Each structure stands twice: as C-alpha cells, then as structure tokens.
Amino acid sequence: MPVIMISKISTALSTTFSSLKYKNFRYFWIGQCVSLTGTWMQRTAQVWLVYTLTKSPLLVGILGVCQFLPMMLFTLFAGVFVDRFPKKKILLLTQALFMLQAFALTALTYFHIVQYWHVLILSAIFGLTQTLDMPARQSFFIEMVGRKDLMNAISLNSTIVNLAKIVGPAISGIVIVKFGPVFCFFLNGISYIAVLWGIFLIHTPDRVVRREHRNVMQEIKEGIQYIKKDKALMNNVIIMAVVCTFAMNNDVVIPVFAKTALQKGAYAYTTLMSAAGVGSLCGALIMAAISKKGVKEGLLIFDGISTAILQMIIAFSRQYWLCIILVAGVGFMNLTFINTANSIFQLKSTDEYRGRVMGVYSFLNQGSTPIGNFYAGTVMEQWGGGMGYLACGLTTFLLIIPVIAKKKTR
C-alpha cells in the first residue's frame, strides 16, 4: 500500500511540475522566484507609502491608474512589436528598466524627498515598461516548453507569482514597521539581478515569423479581426473585460478596507494581501496538477460569478479572520480565471498572431485596471472602505448575467 501511494504521489508531482523538465524554463522560473518577491514587496510598500502621505483612497486609486494606464493605451501596439522581435531580447530590456525604476524610488525615499507626484511618475514608467514586458513574457512560454506543456508552464509561473504575493507582502509588512518602505524598494532593485541572469542563460531560437512589416495600426487591426473570427477567443475577451476591470482591484481596496472598515493598520493590510496570495497559490497548484486534462472554458463564468459573490460577502463582514478566509477565496477564483483565459488565448492563436493576441490579453488583464482602480477609489472616497468590495462585486455580477443569458440563447 505505501509503495502504491508513493507511486501516486510521484506521478502527481511529475504532472504538476512537468514543465520544469525544460532547462530554459527552469532558468526563467528560478529567476522569477526571486524577482517577483521583490516586486510585491515594492508594490505593497508603495501603496502604503502613498496612503500614509495622502490619507486619500482616491489618490491611492489614482496611483493604480498611473501604473496601468500605459497598458490601456499602448498594449496593443506592444503586441505588434513582440511579434516582430525576439522575446528574450525584449525581456532583458524590460527587466533592466524595472531595476532602474526601483532604484530611483529607493533614492527618493532614502533622502526623504519623495512626494506623491514622484511616485505617480515612477509608477507610470513601471507601467510603460510592463506594457512591453507582459505580452513578451506570456508569448515566451511556448518557446521554452512547447504547446504540450504550455498550460502547465503558465500555472507554474502563476505559482511563483502568487507565492510572491504571500511572501512579498508578509516580508514587506515586517520591513515597513522596522525600517520603513525604502528598504523594500532597495531589495526589489537588487532582486532583478536574479531574473536578468536567468534570462541571459536561456537559449532558444529567435522565433520571429518573417513577414513584411506593415503599418502598425494595420497590424493591430489584423490582430483584432483574427480574434473576432474565433468564437472562443471573442467570448474570452468579453468575460475578461468584465472580471478584470471590476473584480480585480484588491491592491486598491484592501489597504482602505483594512484601515477604515476593519480599523486595523499595516500588518492587517499585508496579511490580507498575503491571504489573497495564498488563495491564488492554491489555485495555481491545482491548475498545474490538472493541466493535462486541457482547458475548461466553463471555468471563466464560474470563477467570475464566484468572485463577485465572495466580494459582496466581504463587504458586510467585520470579522478579521473571516475576511482573511474570504479574501483567500477571491484570490483562488481570480487565479483560476486568469490562467484559464491565458491558456485559451495562447492555445487558440498561431505563432504569427500570438504576440498581438497576448497584447489583447495584457490589455484586458491589466490595461483595464485604471478604470477599475478609479471606480473603486471613487466609491470608497464617497461611501467608505467597506463599499469598495460591494461595488466591485455587484457590478461584476450584474455584467456577467447578460453574458450567461447570451450563451444560453445560442
């Protein structure tokens, strides 16, 4: 019996971590483990810094707008360039720019000259860099592992993203209390050395589909038309537009909710952020384990509705530990939603269009965030921190209902 159990565990682990058999993906994955922890330390400390400087939920929301507005404006253009140039070279450039941004924020904070507008500008620079980085990064997975293990690679990448969401805010909470946010920014800058070295070690053919470079706007139009012709891709776009805009505003809602609704401080804020990360990590591991079974498109609507319901329950809860559990549930649903949407986009697209398709994915995933952040920040500014989750959850729920009704009438 123990031998059979050990064999089953070994098979399960082999399936869950199958994409790590590729050396190139291991280099990438290990580098990301270090770098993303630093990124989440900075994101957590940056939001807390802005809230302590301004005491305004609306200005915290505007911070999110500045970070993600470039993705709204330029991601579709970035997708064209990702199709034109080797992904590895693009990623080396973007990671170096992220490092410089982190060190600039470190210097401003260390010398006690940081002001709100400084943070806004650096957030916009981060967002502009991420606009190019995200479609390049997502398109690079298939070059490292192939189509067979693509969904597993996406899920394993999500495990480290969400492990970083747990570890980063947790470390950040301790560091902020003991040393202030500046040390978080500095550690983030240092962390990019690991990911730069990992990407440098990767050896893959420069998979660029050689074709005549036409007008950029024409190529964007072709990418959108390509999506519109595919029913699965188009359905993915509609549902992502709703859920990513209104149901994924934790970064803005949680600090205000912790401070005003729960009447707690930085530790509660970082704990709730870590709880969202724990839920997402569990979702990522489950998605990795079942990746061989293929993509389940029905998860998109299930996860969207579940997220909306959980958020509306959180809005009426003032029990700290219950909120931790519910926020973890939201993290779980958000992760399985995003991974499913990502897999659909990549598996349904060809090499020629993958960069532009993932540009649309990036636009929906984070480019819509300025709208959601501004919406959540405005609601909380007018009616208090408890209303952030209620407004986001209720809006998501109401907008998904017509999508479900439309699917049933087909």
Q: Please provide the DSSP assignment of 138-161 as one string.
A: HHHHHHHHTTTTHHHHHHHHHHHH
Among 256, 200, 239, smallest CA distance to 391 is for: 256
Contact 165, 305 (CB under 8 A): no
Average pLDDT over residues 73-90: 85
* Residue boundaries of the structural domains of the chain: 19-201+215-409
CB 276 within 8 A of CB 214: no
> To the nearest whole percent, how much of the chain has pLDDT over 90?
30
Q: Is the dihedral of CA 171, 311, 236, 241 positive or negative?
A: negative
Is the model's pLDDT at 399 over the cut of 50?
Answer: yes
Residues 85, 201: Cα–Cα separation, whole Å:
18
**Closest among 408, 89, 342, 352 to 209, alpha carbons compared:** 352
The fraction of the chain above a pLDDT of 70, given in percent, is 91
| Residue 170 DSSP SS3 | helix
CATH class entry, domain 19-201+215-409: mainly alpha
pLDDT in tens, 247-262: 988 878 998 898 888 8
Which range, 6-10, 80-84, 289-293, is most confident? 80-84
Mean pLDDT of the chain: 85
Q: What is the mean pLDDT of residues 289-316?
A: 85
pLDDT at residue 147, as a whole number: 78
**What's the pLDDT at 1?**
46
**Winning range, highest mean pLDDT, from 46-60, 166-180, 185-199, 212-226:** 185-199
Predicted confidence (pLDDT) at residue 9 exceeds the cutoff of 80: no
Instruction: Output the six-digit token pair for 94.
Output: 């973007």
Tens of pLDDT, residue by residue over 155-192, are 888 778 777 777 887 788 888 888 889 999 999 999 99
Task: Report whether pLDDT(57) > 60.
Answer: yes
CA–CA separation, 147 and 144 (whole Å):
10
What integer pLDDT is reported at residue 368 of this predicted model?
77
- Burial, 361: exposed, middle or buried (Cβ in 10 Å; 0-12, 13-18, 19+)? buried
d(CA 390, CA 69): 24
Task: Please tell me whether the overall predicted TM-score, pTM, comes out greater than 0.95 for this model.
Answer: no
How sure is the predictor about 357, in pLDDT bands with cuts at 50, 70 and 90? confident
